[in-house]
Structure 1
Amino acid sequence: MENIAFIGLGIMGVPMCLNLLKAGYPVNTYTRSHTHPSIPEAGAHLCDSPRAAAEQADIIILIVNDTPNVEQVLFGENGVIEANLQGKVIVDMSTISPVATKAFAQRVQAAGADYLDAPVSGGDVGAQAGTLSIMVGGSESAFQRVLPLFQVMGKNITHVGDVGAGQITKMANQVIVAQSIQAVAEALVLASKAGADPEKVRQALMGGFANSRILEVHGKRMTAGTFTPGFKVNLHQKDITSALNTARELGVALPGAALFQQLLSSCIAQGGSEWDHSAVIKVIEQLANHSIRDDS
């Protein structure tokens, strides 16, 4: 059984790491922040640097919050690159720049390791259940080697293409999720202001063609007013900004994504950078001068 290094123990990382531990994999971990007590309790070995974690591992998994943090973990002081990487696989499950991903992969491959970009979708709910969608870029051989680990953490696992293809796929995912959240928020505010019970409307729509995971999970958060983050506003804004920058370079118009970015910016201006991204309904409510919840 492969030895695993798991770097990044946030909202997504903790349950993903726990699922690997439950499956019996030996796991070394590193995080810059406080380690959730469930991780050592489940048998993980805590390391004091990315280098130490990588040195003892065959497969090194990263899931941190942005491109600069991935770069720091890989190439900063006591970074992964300082370990002996010959014959190992680095798997970046963060959501970062596709351009940076390709550059990182070249440096890692020069050090003797394979590199996969494997961002995920499904939020904290999917991470806990082990049902994440995982979109993978990299070589077929590296993908097949890591596939048993992916199958512990996710259900819909797709090898999309070469390095960078996973990040492009995740970028497309974030554009779709963004506009789906916006559509659900608009629909619920419209229904509520017309006098209908928004939660009953949500339940009715789940039986028809408008059904989606966004309507099911985020729609419920909207009607309940529960915005504890599964995926934070500031992280989705980072992803949408990256998508808009890439679209500009390619000459592609993303008008819906641009509008959603403004909704996220409004949430942040109100102190909501740490809210769940479903909280964009607060902005739609303000525009309508109407709340769908009696307690708001």
Structure 2
Amino acid sequence: MEVGFCGPGLMGAPMIRHLLRAGHTVHVWNRTRDKAEALAKDGAKVASTPAALADSAELIFLCVSDAAAVEQVVFDPQHGIATAAQGAAGNARVRRIVDHSSIAPSATRGFAQRAAAARIGWVDAPVSGGVAGATAGTLAVMAGGAAADVEAATPVIRAYAARVTHMGDAGAGQTAKLCNQSIVTATVAAIAEAVSLAQRSGIDAARLTEALAGGWADSVLLQTFVPRMTSSGATPIGAMRTFQKDVDTIAAAAYETGTPMPVAGTVQQVLRLAAAMGLADADFSAFVDVLQPGKRR
């Protein structure tokens, strides 16, 4: 199948490589063209604008930073995907957009309505599993949208995902991702507190992974972040500003739905403190640096 992909970043690039290995033709666009051209050696075709994807592919994937980026890529008056489809007199190939970005459910519902005016189905499909999951092709995808659109996109998504779960109408996938991020961010913050307590108590915090293995506190996050918080030099897997964006979105959804989320609120304040300390671009493991500002790794 010919597909389009906007946003070959830390997550998007390995997802694109899986699509290529699965035999799909992938047309790639990125605001920073170098990132798109880096995938040409893997067989990707570089597009000059998002609008060009509308003529090349029936299915277009997005994996961009935030709702503003999604809106620009899809609805820009000159180069947007939907703009091109509306102006193509029915000749555009694009039929569906799958948005892997993590944005607010309310924004997703608005985008889905606007896309429908251009005869484009919208699937919000945020992912979980991080860079490691994208590289291994084992991502978990939470999907929202019409059942027919989710079913049509699922066989292609399975090139890089172990599981696709249809959660409901447009916005439901994003809500599920917020639930995921509320658990992830709170857990990473708790791991940072545990590491800090261990270090201040004079024990080897790096051994927590071994000591807690198999117990209730054990998890993929524990095994991932204790080593990252107790040593230096690891390749970054994401920036603290991404967590802050997600937790701010969680707070907005909690307000809209009247949901008490005191733990998420506390994590939000820790992330704001991290940004004030100049750690917005630091790796996710920098939670521990917020708790021990005088002991940078």
Distance 1:18 1:273 in 2: 29
Tell whether the 8 Å contact from 1:227 to 1:275 is kept in structure 2 after alignment. Answer: no
Match of 1:62 in 2: 62
Q: CA deviation at 1:253?
A: 1.7
Structure 1 runs of 4+ off > 2 angstroms?
82-87, 225-229
Q: CA deviation at 1:83?
A: 2.8
Matched, 1:240 2:247: yes
Q: CA deviation at 1:185?
A: 0.8
Report the 3-state secondary structure (helix = DSSP H, G, I; strand = E; otherwise coil) of the residue aligned with 1:83: helix
Change (3 A) 1:120 1:127: same
Q: Figure out how many residues of one structure are paired with residues of the other and give that number.
A: 289
Match of 2:50 in 1: 50
Q: CA deviation at 1:180?
A: 0.3
Report the 3-state secondary structure (helix = DSSP H, G, I; strand = E; otherwise coil) of the residue aligned with 1:281: helix
Moved more, 173-182 or 31-40: 31-40
Deviations for 1:240-271, whole angstroms, at most 9, x for unmatched residues? 11110111122212111111112212222222
Q: CA deviation at 1:126?
A: 0.9
Q: CA deviation at 1:35?
A: 1.7
The letter for the 2-side match of 1:70 is: V
Matched, 1:141 2:145: no
Q: CA deviation at 1:156?
A: 2.6
- Give me the CA root mean square deviation: 1.6
Taking structure 2 as the reference length, the TM-score comes to 0.93
Report the 3-state secondary structure (helix = DSSP H, G, I; strand = E; otherwise coil) of the residue aligned with 1:152: coil
| Fraction of identical pairs, as percent | 38
The letter for the 1-side match of 2:18 is: N
The letter for the 2-side match of 1:109 is: A
Tell whether the 8 Å contact from 1:118 to 1:137 is kept in structure 2 after alignment. Answer: yes
Moved more, 113-122 or 75-84: 75-84
Match of 1:4 in 2: 3
Match of 2:30 in 1: 31
Among 183, 186, 194, the alignment partner of 2:193 is: 186
Q: CA deviation at 1:194?
A: 1.7
Tell whether the 8 Å contact from 2:239 to 2:284 is kept in structure 1 after alignment. Answer: yes
Match of 1:82 in 2: 83
Distance 2:54 2:279 in 1: 36
Tell whether the 8 Å contact from 2:229 to 2:288 is kept in structure 1 after alignment. Answer: yes
Deviations for 1:189-232, whole angstroms, at most 9, x for unmatched residues? 11222222111122221221111111011222112234643121
Summarize the alignment of residues 10-25 of structure 1 with structure 2, pairs less than 5 Å apart: 10-25=9-24
The letter for the 2-side match of 1:35 is: K
Unaligned runs of 5+ in 2: 86-91
The letter for the 1-side match of 2:65 is: N
Unaligned runs of 5+ in 1: none
Moved more, 82-91 or 170-179: 82-91
Deviations for 1:84-107, whole angstroms, at most 9, x for unmatched residues? 356611100000111111111011
The letter for the 1-side match of 2:197 is: L
Change (3 A) 1:251 1:266: same
Report the 3-state secondary structure (helix = DSSP H, G, I; strand = E; otherwise coil) of the residue aligned with 2:24: coil
The letter for the 2-side match of 1:214 is: L
Among 251, 254, 257, the alignment partner of 2:261 is: 254
The letter for the 2-side match of 1:79 is: G
Report the 3-state secondary structure (helix = DSSP H, G, I; strand = E; otherwise coil) of the residue aligned with 2:39: helix
Among 193, 196, 214, the alignment partner of 2:221 is: 214
Distance 2:233 2:168 in 1: 38
Moved more, 103-112 or 24-33: 103-112
Distance 1:206 1:200 in 2: 10
